[in-house]
Amino acid sequence: GSYINPESAHLIGLIPNFPKAKVRSVGNAASLGAIMALVSEEDCKQAEKISEGVDYVELASFPEFTDILTQAMRFGKQD
């Protein structure tokens, strides 16, 4: 969401109530990261190192996931 207004997103309950200083847009981070990896061998190696510590979890394999997700997505002003 590069174009999402954090205040509006909070008002509809899309994001929790965080201090404004902690919410910021990072733009097209995936594209920027890909470009960095292509033009910098050091950045590419750093990305590979980070990826070694990541586990892929197929959430669709957990039957209760959809129920938990939809219950957690309660739009409306959150107190």
Q: What is the pLDDT along the chain (79 residues), one digit of tens a residue?
A: 567 787 888 788 777 777 766 777 788 888 999 999 999 999 999 999 999 999 999 998 888 998 888 887 766 665 5
Count of CB atoms situated within 10 Å of the CB of 70: 9
d(CA 10, CA 17): 6
Structure pTM? 0.50
C-alpha distance from residue 8 to each of 4, 18, 71 (Å) = 8, 13, 21
d(CA 26, CA 40): 20
Are residues 15 and 6 in contact, defined by beta-carbon separation less than 8 angstroms?
A: yes
The two counts, helices (H) then strands (E), for the chain are: 4, 0
